[in-house]
Amino acid sequence: MSTENLDISRRRLLGTVGAAGATGLMLGAAGGAAAHAAAAGPAGAALASVGSTAVPFRGAHQAGILQPLQARGHLVAFDLVPGAGRKEAIALMRRWSAVAERLMAGEPLGAGDTGVALDAGPSSLTVTFGFGASFFDRTGLVARRPEELDPLPAFSSDRLDPRRSGGDLWVQIGADDALVAFHALRAVQKEAGGAARVRWQMNGFNRSPGATAHPMTARNLMGQVDGSRNPKPSEPDFDERVFVPAGGEQPWMAGGSYAVVRRIRMLLDDWEKLPLKQQERVIGRRKSDGAPLTGGGETAAIDLDRTGPDGKLVVPDNAHARISAPEQNGGAAMLRRPFSYHDGFGADGEPDAGLLFIAWQADPRRGFVPVQRKLDRGDALSPFVRHEASGLFAVPGGPGAGEYVGQRLLEA
């Protein structure tokens, strides 16, 4: 996208898309879900504006990173079929890029269009593509595999299902209309053709634009304000934290980012039994407005040294907000842009629900990994969440004029 469009996109990104509380979650502590602020527009905006918003396909960065949270999301991983290699991957990425560009512009796909999104506008649709570590083996491009794609370390709280983890290719789809999002998901899956097969797929959601009286930071399924301390594009080190600079060892990743994807189940039955005050002490923030327990508004700095009349820390030493705070982790931070999910109820009535955690960073070894290691050693939130799936993907920069996504990798 042009510099002007990029600046606009960044300004729209909510002032609250923040620094990573890596348990995957969450919470306002080191919060993360980007709010709907900009997408919602001014209070009382016409509903038609939700459908008319289009996100550019081309630019310095792929769409789906800097944009505000969307109401509906689909995450899907593919594996190349046996025998498919670099040639097939090139053809696939050409097809996927062409489809994504048309759909994001609100254009039909022609004779093969299913009509699912007929009559709807682009609805802030974004389609984002990434490559897993195994992709480089399958395509003979091991020499171009970044070190940042080295496997994530094991964490004691992991309960990972390998069938819902990893993958050669990853696609993130988001939109402010469920039919528009499904239409894109179906198109991507069909265009995979005989080159790739679905490995896993997950569905998510967020609050719809305009659902609140004024723009505000989103809440997760625990009811917590989630995203208060996300890094902001206005911060001088934002690009350094989130995007890969030019001139690195893998030039094809310039302007790109690394996505850590985790399916984090929230044990809501256990969480909801906690009294409100105890929930707030687990997080380190007020549930009503996301403000730190040490006072001020949602975006106020947390006074980690403050003690109460009893001499005890106001924000407990194992509170999620304390442990995941960048100042407690050598400045480590991620741009968290998740979706909530709900996949029904178990036989015991417990909801299978939680967070599709998506964290963007220039290097996961300096972002997600150190924060998650610290959370793994004593976060008060850990008994109430379970990491059930995981993936790490290299997401190249946005395509230039006439390019498809990943061309600088596949044809360099």
Q: Which residues are catalytic?
A: 226
Q: How far is CA 392 from the centre of its chain?
A: 12
Report angle CA 354, 355, 359 to the nearest 5 degrees: 165
Distance CA 324, CA 231 (A): 13
Nearest Cα to Cα of residue 315 among 287, 285, 344: 285
In the chain, the amino acid numbered 353 is A
Residue 326 · residue 332 · CB < 8 Å: yes
Mode of pairing for the β-strands spanning 339-345 and 351-361: antiparallel
Nearest Cα to Cα of residue 103 among 167, 190, 39: 190
Q: Give CA separation, 304 vs 19, 83, 281, 318, 325, in Å.
A: 16, 55, 13, 11, 10
What is the DSSP secondary-structure string of 225-272? Answer: B--TTB--TTSTTHHHHHSPPTTSSSGGGTT-EEEEEEEEEE-HHHHH
Nearest Cα to Cα of residue 10 among 81, 84, 65: 65
Q: What is the CA radius of gyration of the chain?
A: 20
Distance CA 94, CA 101 (A): 11
Q: What is the DSSP letter of 318?
A: T
What is the DSSP secondary-structure string of 16-76? Answer: T-BB---SS---GGG--PPPSHHHH-STT--THHHHH----S-SSS-TTSSSPPPSEEEEE
Nearest Cα to Cα of residue 211 among 39, 17, 40, 342: 40
Tokens coding 319: 């509170």
